[in-house]
Structures are given as structure tokens and as C-alpha cells.
Structure 1
Amino acid sequence: MVDSNLLKNKLAQLADYLADLQDSQTVSLDLYRNDKKTRRYIERTLHLAIECCLDIGSHIIADNGWREPVDNKDVFAVLAENGVFSQELVPRLQKMAQFRNVLVHDYAKIDPDIVYRVLTQNLPDIREFIRAVERLL
């Protein structure tokens, strides 16, 4: 049985990160590239949002006794296998998990164009994830 209170709290946290990221979409690429505080804020908020998605997914999987994911990318595959959302969303969310690894482990090699593209083009994937989890609850 899914712990709905825990998931509701995590979803609220994720919605807050998403709102912050949506507010940051007005930042120009030039400002993002040249302002250290803006860059760090956006990168860290993206990281936290992705971690939150992974935490939510892991809780759902554990609470339902579904197969254990082999890595972060697999969290989203397991959720889709069990009907939480469509297989169509899986590759987009898996790219998000890979992007999280870049943010966390390859911090010296972060490509500003990629981060900016994620900020301006990929937030709908997080919104879709939120809607899917809300339907589950």
C-alpha cells in the first residue's frame, strides 16, 4: 500500500521546485551563462526536482513490492511496467535521470546549452510525472 501522506508531501515539494524552475524560464541564456548564482540556482533546483521524482518513484515501487530497479533510469521503466504512466514517457524521464548524474558527478563538464534547453523545454515531462502520480493516489 502506497504511503499517500509521504507521496503528497513529496509531490508538494516537487511542485515547489517546478514552480521555481518555471519562474527561472524568463532568464536569458546569456544571463544563465554569465551569472554564477543564477547558474547554480537553476542547476541545483533541477537536481532537486529530479531527485524528488526518483524518490517518489522509489517509494511507489517499494510500497507496492514491484521489481527492484537496477539503477535510477530503471525506476521510470518499473513505474511504466506497472501502469503508473505510459511507456512513451519512459525515455524522456530516463534522460532526466542521466542528466541528474551529469549535474551530480560531472559538475566541471556541465554544458550550459544543455542545462538551458532542459530548463526551457523539458519541464512538461516533470508535470506529466506529477499528474501520473496524482492519478495513482
Structure 2
Amino acid sequence: MVDKELLSRKLSFLQNYVSELKQADDINWEKYTVDPRTRAFVERYLHLAIESVFDIANNLISFHDWREPDSYRDIFVILHENKVIPKETLHSFQEMASFRNILVHRYEKIDDEIVFGVFKKRLVDFELFGSLIKNWAEKQ
């Protein structure tokens, strides 16, 4: 049995970060590339959302004493192995790990097109992750 209160709180953080990004739908490519504060907002909230995903996943892994992940990408393999997420979602979720590494470790060379693309086209991945986790937890 997972700590549903803790999980709910963590899912709420994820939902809030994604909501903030979705509400910023007035940010277009020009505004993103010209305004450093806008870029910082998008990068930071995407980073917070990704860290929330990893926090949720790692809490499940730890709580259930599943095997320890070898990498951030492996976190999603473990969730799949334990029937938390379907195989079809693995690649998309593993891309979050790669994107996180760009934000955290290659911050001096961040590709604006990649970040803007995630901001405009991949927020649905965060929502899907939250939904899958919530549905899985309700069945426990």
C-alpha cells in the first residue's frame, strides 16, 4: 500500500507546475528567445515538473522496495516492470530524463528550440504520467 496522502501531495505539485506552464500560452517563439526572464521561467518550471516526476517515481520505487534504478531513464523501466506505466509510454518518459540532463548539466549550451518544443508540445507527457500514477495508486 502506497502512502496516498504523500503521493497526492506530490502529484499536486506536478499538476501545479504544468498548470503554470499551460497558463503561459501567450509565450511565443519571439518572446521566448528575446526575453531572458521568460526563458528562465519556462526552463525552471519544466525542470521542477521533471524533478516532481522523478520524486514521485523514486518514492514508489523506494516504498515498494523495487530494484534500485541505474539511471534516471531506468526509473521508468522499473515502473513498467511493476505495471505502473505501459510500455508505450517508456520512450516519452525516458526522454524526460535526457531533457533533465540538458537543463541541469548543459545549461550553458541549452538549445532553445528543444526547450521551446517541450514547452509547447510535451506538457501532455507530464499530465499522462500523473494520470497513470493516480490510476495505478487507486487500484492498490
The TM-score with structure 2 as length reference comes to: 0.95
CA distance in 2, matches of 1:98, 1:68: 19
**How many Å apart are 1:12 and its aligned residue?**
0.4
CA distance in 1, matches of 2:2, 2:98: 26
Counterpart code for 1:94: Q
Give the corresponding residue for 1:94: 94
Give the corresponding residue for 1:38: 38
CA distance in 2, matches of 1:5, 1:111: 37
Structure 1 unaligned residues grouped into runs of 5+? none
Structure 2 unaligned residues grouped into runs of 5+? none
**How many Å apart are 1:26 and its aligned residue?**
2.6
Give the corresponding residue for 1:9: 9
Give the corresponding residue for 2:130: 130
CA distance in 2, matches of 1:26, 1:130: 24
CA distance in 1, matches of 2:23, 2:51: 19
Task: Determine helix, strand or coil for the equivalent of 1:102.
Answer: helix
CA distance in 2, matches of 1:81, 1:122: 24
Task: Determine helix, strand or coil for the equivalent of 2:69.
Answer: coil
Q: Is the 8 A contact 1:25 1:119 kept in 2?
A: no
Q: What is the total number of aligned residue pairs between the two structures? A: 137
Task: Determine helix, strand or coil for the equivalent of 1:69.
Answer: coil
Give the corresponding residue for 2:76: 76
Percent identical across equivalent pairs? 40
Q: Is the 8 A contact 1:103 1:110 kept in 2?
A: yes
C-alpha offsets along residues 64-88 of structure 1, whole Å, 9 cap, x if unaligned?
1111110111111100111111111
Counterpart code for 1:82: N
Runs of 4 or more consecutive aligned structure 1 residues displaced over 3 Å after TM superposition: none
Q: Is the 8 A contact 1:2 1:59 kept in 2?
A: no
**How many Å apart are 1:25 and its aligned residue?**
3.0
Task: Determine helix, strand or coil for the equivalent of 2:85.
Answer: coil
Q: What's the Cα RMSD here? A: 0.8
**How many Å apart are 1:127 and its aligned residue?**
0.8
The TM-score with structure 1 as length reference comes to: 0.97
